[in-house]
């Protein structure tokens, strides 16, 4: 059983700090998932519900609604693109400029190796803003603000910029023996009252982040 790490909560929502490698839903073969902790968060038969999704390999802020009205309000924010989502990633190389925007539609492709998302002019619109926060030999620390919520959007967009994420062998990174370096760093929903949370970087990302200039806050 996974013991949830709660970053923020009120009577409507909790924001969980999801570990990398933990799926939000239980799969057909079983195994631990975020939903396993729901019985301890809400009222029997009346929630909780996931307000959005994170890939299993992505760590960080995950919003869970405790009431039906809160769920509908949050889903409306995500669907309208009003939810403010900020991600941190460590990538191989660097994007072509210190900051910028990529608008590249994404579609799903199936082949013998399985499915993956690809840049496809006929796909769904997808837009991501990026900014370089630091760099080291051969890698960069990026802040990313996706304006849409397509599957694997940040991973595909970074690969399209020529700088795939560390640990992302699906989208072009070499096999470097590390997990995916992607953190849902912060979330903000402009509801009344607001929902806002920040997730600390997971231990697995700290060496690469530190090499790129990140310094954790002084606990004192």
47 or 214: which leads in pLDDT: 214
**Quick check: 141 pLDDT over 80?**
yes
Q: Which residues are known to be catalytic?
A: 55
Contacts of residue 173, Cβ cutoff 8 Å, sequence gap at least 6? 92, 159, 164, 165, 166, 167
Rounded-to-integer distance, Cα 158 and Cα 146, Å = 11
Task: Give the pLDDT band (50/70/90) at residue 89.
Answer: very high
Tell me the pTM.
0.94
Q: For position 47, what pLDDT does the model report?
A: 79
Q: For position 145, what pLDDT does the model report?
A: 98
**Quick check: 124 pLDDT over 80?**
yes
End-to-end CA distance of the chain: 32
Average pLDDT over residues 129-139: 97
**Quick check: 187 pLDDT over 90?**
yes
Q: For position 43, what pLDDT does the model report?
A: 60
Task: Give the pLDDT band (50/70/90) at residue 220.
Answer: low
Q: For position 216, what pLDDT does the model report?
A: 86
Q: What residue ranges define each of the domains in the chain, with the CATH number in brackets?
A: 6-211 (3.30.2350.10)
Q: For position 74, what pLDDT does the model report?
A: 98
Q: For position 1, what pLDDT does the model report?
A: 64
- Both tokens of residue 194? 């607001």
**Quick check: 3 pLDDT over 90?**
no
Q: For position 189, what pLDDT does the model report?
A: 98
Rounded-to-integer distance, Cα 23 and Cα 57, Å = 8
Task: Give the pLDDT band (50/70/90) at residue 204.
Answer: very high
* Highest-scoring range by mean pLDDT, 29-33, 46-50, 182-186, 216-220: 182-186
**Quick check: 96 pLDDT over 80?**
yes
- List pLDDT tens digits, range 24-67: 987 766 688 998 888 778 665 577 999 999 999 999 999 999 99
127 burial via Cβ count (<10 Å: 0-12, 13-18, 19+): middle
């Amino acid at each position: 059983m996974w013991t949830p790490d709660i970053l923020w909560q009120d009577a409507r929502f909790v924001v969980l700090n999801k570990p990398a490698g933990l799926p939000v839903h239980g799969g057909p073969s079983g195994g631990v998932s975020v939903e396993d902790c729901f019985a301890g968060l809400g009222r029997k038969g009346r929630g909780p519900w996931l307000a959005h999704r994170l890939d299993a390999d992505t760590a960080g802020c995950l919003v869970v609604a405790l009431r039906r009205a809160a769920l509908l309000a949050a889903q409306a924010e995500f669907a309208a693109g009003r939810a403010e989502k900020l991600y941190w990633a460590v990538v191989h190389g660097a994007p072509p400029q210190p900051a910028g925007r990529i608008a590249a539609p994404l579609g799903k492709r199936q082949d013998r190796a399985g499915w993956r998302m690809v840049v496809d002019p006929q796909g769904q619109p997808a837009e991501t803003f990026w900014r370089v926060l630091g760099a080291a030999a051969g890698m960069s620390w990026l802040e990313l603000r996706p304006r849409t919520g397509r599957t694997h959007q940040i991973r595909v967009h970074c690969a399209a910029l020529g700088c795939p994420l560390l640990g992302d062998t699906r989208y072009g990174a070499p096999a470097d023996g590390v997990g995916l370096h992607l953190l849902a760093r912060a979330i903000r929903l402009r509801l009344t009252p607001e929902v806002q949370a920040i997730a600390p970087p997971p231990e697995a990302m700290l060496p690469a982040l530190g090499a790129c200039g990140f310094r954790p806050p002084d606990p004192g």
